[in-house]
Chains A and B, each alone.
Chain A
Amino acid sequence: MRTILILKRLITVFYYLIFIGLIAQLFRIINQIITGKIHDLKPKIFGEQLDYGTMSLFEIGLSGVVPVVLFYCFFQSLIYLKRSLKDLESGNYFSALVITNFKKIGILFLVCSLGEVIGKLLFFIVFKSKFHFELDSSVVLFFIMGLFFMFLSEVFQKARRLQQENELTI
């Protein structure tokens, strides 16, 4: 049971660190927009340095869509994991919440993985005018984790049925 406590603490710390980072980034971007220095931003998207000074507002917006969607999926999956840990910590392993959350996490991880591959492909075609296909370890790991969470959800669903059957065996 100590592992679940360590996991819960780690995920909570990670969640708040990401949340604080997100707020700080938002303030920075809003500040740049207000002061009219949006073109001074030189963000790195998919490992490529973009110069907003040479890009139109439409292109700036377009370049941010995929990373924002991917980040949203990742952050949302972290929220689902954080919520599931409450039930797991209390020993309620096969609750409906855990089963549905694990399935959602799996789907979101798959979206993150496939979204990064497709997003990267489109990004290089649109902004760099070149075909660039890359399959790094994080993409593969997210894909495997996504499938694993979905499988785990199915296993937990089966376990829930068995648990209910066991409870109704008198």
Chain B
Amino acid sequence: MKDNLNISAPVIEAKGLNLVFQTSDGPVHALKDVNLTINKGDFVSFIGPSGCGKTTFLRSIAALEHPTGGTLTVNGMSPDEARRKRAYGYVFQAAGLYPWRTIAGNIKLPLEIMGFSRAEQDERVARVLDLVELAGFGKKFPWQLSGGMQQRASIARALAFDADILLMDEPFGALDEIVRDRLNEEVLKLWARTGKTIGFVTHSIPEAVYLSTKIVVMSPRPGRITDVIDSPLPKERPLDIRDSREFIEIAHRVREGLRAGHADD
């Protein structure tokens, strides 16, 4: 995991990336000519309507989809190699905790597969539970936790094996607004404490603007990037930053980008 000695090197780099799904209705261009560079420590949000390829792009980084053209490197490697080097943790829209495992047992799942020793598993579980503020919940079963706590546990699971990159696919999409605000704050804290590079797919403009250092606006048919906004907001972001003029301006630009993407449908 200490392969990326050159810190200024991009963590994720896509050049002319294309992905075409062959469906029974003919080919679907999920990603078209996507060029994007994500640097170490960036918090990048992908926003756009359904079918714009934001999830497909995230899944391509995780080697869950395989691009049909162009190049995509993760830590300078192919996504498949990066997976073997445990370059990233992935958080899905649903927590997807195993009901037959305790919270600690769920967090141990990747550690067991990756062959960590028992002592190290316990040590890591304690550390990441603390990181997502679930210390003391290790012995509980998932159904004993609220939806927000379950999603925090799934983030802990993705953090447990110390990947430098955290990929999150609408992780809070199924949660209510209040829980979502809390978790957004916590993700920012987590990001500040761990210095990870985060890729975050969302439908929500405020969420994207509040969290990100870089906002990637995408549009559908074919899935492509229409705008990349580097956020001028400071790293320290209280919730009420969302009422500031700068925040509203960025949100406006994101909305314009989304509208422009739709205009040429």
Instruction: Determine if chain A interacts with chain B.
Output: no
Q: Which chain B residues have a beta carbon within 8 Å of chain A's beta carbons?
A: none
